[in-house]
Structure 1
Amino acid sequence: MTEASAESLAEILDERQHLLEIALWMFGSELAADHIVQETYRRWYPLDDEESAGIATPRAWLTRTAGSICLELLAAPFHIPEPEVPEPTQHQVRVGGEMLARHDRVARRFAAACRTGNTAVLRAELATDAILVSDGGGKVRAALHPTYGADAVARMATALLIGQPGTELAVGSVNGRTGLVLRRVGQALAVVSVSVAGAEVTAVWIVLNPDKLQRWHRP
């Protein structure tokens, strides 16, 4: 296998893992996550050359599509068929450290932008077609629908994460990747994971539901 094809395979596998993390975050079920990822790719592959050429960042498109499918399934009863996803080989699961390092760099820049409290600075870290999804579990204030577009995402992220008295925004591991945790006196108020394409944040996923934050509390 050439270096270029190995890198391409690693990117594809990393992308699939990224979509699985989105679905697991929303549903907490591996069976549901497999179904959602399969449905996401089922919507991608029928696109013709002209349609796919019009998608500037395929990873961002897949992220939005997976998020939309999650919301569709949350809104109505559904049946999840048995997945037909083969177990990856040892070679396939080798995702390059370069991709994780890139994600870490972008996530830390996003965290630093959040700490400035400046919406314009935060906006500069986002892809033009970025998306933000928040989950309050009906117990705390959160957006009822996904927020689309860098300007709107920057404003929403500012409202949810910045300027709350007595809070500290820390960088930490979220689902095995660099993310953010907002705490007040050791109590987690929000956990943030980000999706990355190139040097930009394409999606911001914010957990605000207190029932999901208990393991993030610190003494």
Structure 2
Amino acid sequence: MAETGAGSLAEMLDERQHLLEIAQWMFGSELAAEYVLEETYRRWYALDDAERAGIAVPRGWLTRTVGSICLALLADPEHVPSRPSRPPDPVTDLPVRPAGPGRELLDRHDRIARRFAAACQSGDTAALRAVLAPDAIVVSDGGGKVRAPVRPVHGADAAATFVATLLIGQPGAEVALASVNGRTGLVLRRAGRAVAVVSVSVAMAEVTAVWIILNPDKLHRWH
């Protein structure tokens, strides 16, 4: 999956589960496996753009890295973590809304967010593109726990493609309206568990920015 685009959310989650299962199989410990995944993704993001672009099969690279970290820890069992290397990131919502917005602004935000949500729920990419501003951006946060794109996606066409690929038509997934930081947003769930929370910024009658949280540490309260 290219860092400037997006594979499906199912692919990203399946990749993470695949790596987690390898680490759990080698250690029999979910805590140690999570540590291994965190270190694996840290090494991925430590690569520069050219190095990541030169990796033809990222999943293969990540699998080999998980294996090498596991082997190194098994060779030195005292370094296998018995507690989290750091506390989980606090649950935070998406960008903070301006203080004291008027009722009219909130109502407009709600109408536009609902148009965006309806396009996502119906899988209508044309409607999705129509609600996005020409210079719309998409920003995603995997928190080093999901291999989300590093850079924002720019432009209505690219943003619509990104959102459609990431959120629309995921097997067993359900997109629902939710209050995100006091405004209308979306939550995507699979098997009852939140896998993405989405907030939008609006101007006039268009969505100008889409903010997507994918970091599992920030999604606990949404389950």
Shorter-normalised TM range: 0.5 to 0.7
Q: Which residue of 1 is the match for residue 148 of structure 2?
A: 142
Q: Which residue of 1 is the match for residue 176 of structure 2?
A: 170
Q: Quick one: distance in 2 between partners of 1:177 and 1:150?
A: 22
Q: Quick one: distance in 2 between partners of 1:93 and 1:132?
A: 23
Deviations 1:71-124 (A, max 9, x none): xxxxxxxxxxxxxxxxxxxxx964310100000000001000111213222101
Q: 2:131 aligns with which of 122, 125, 136?
A: 125
Q: Quick one: distance in 1 between partners of 2:99 and 2:170?
A: 40
Give runs of aligned pairs for residues 58-207 of structure 1, distance below 5 A. 94-207=100-213
RMSD (Å) for aligned C-alpha atoms: 1.4
Q: Quick one: distance in 1 between partners of 2:164 and 2:99?
A: 36
Q: Quick one: distance in 1 between partners of 2:150 and 2:125?
A: 21
Q: Quick one: distance in 2 between partners of 1:122 and 1:142?
A: 21
Q: Which consecutive unaligned segments of at least 5 residues does structure 1 have?
A: 1-91
Q: Quick one: distance in 2 between partners of 1:206 and 1:93?
A: 22
Identity of aligned residues (%): 71
State the secondary structure of the residue aligned to 1:140: coil
Q: Which consecutive unaligned segments of at least 5 residues does structure 2 have?
A: 1-97
Deviations 1:159-207 (A, max 9, x none): 1111111111000100111000000121001000000001100000000
Q: Quick one: distance in 2 between partners of 1:140 and 1:174?
A: 21
Instruction: Give, as a single letter, the amino acid of the residue that structure 2 aligns with 1:161.
Output: L
Q: Quick one: distance in 2 between partners of 1:95 and 1:190?
A: 26
Q: Quick one: distance in 2 between partners of 1:186 and 1:104?
A: 25
State the secondary structure of the residue aligned to 2:109: helix
Once the 2 structures are TM-superposed, how far is the Cα of residue 152 of structure 1 from its aligned partner? 0.3
State the secondary structure of the residue aligned to 1:154: helix
Q: Quick one: distance in 2 between partners of 1:116 and 1:143?
A: 25
Deviations 1:131-180 (A, max 9, x none): 00001112223111000000000001111111111111000100111000
Q: Does 1:211 align with 2:220?
A: no
Instruction: Give, as a single letter, the amino acid of the residue that structure 2 aligns with 1:114.
Output: C
Q: RCO higher in 1 or 2 (8 Å CA, sep ≥ 6)?
A: 2
TM-score by length of 2: 0.55
Q: Quick one: distance in 2 between partners of 1:136 and 1:159?
A: 16
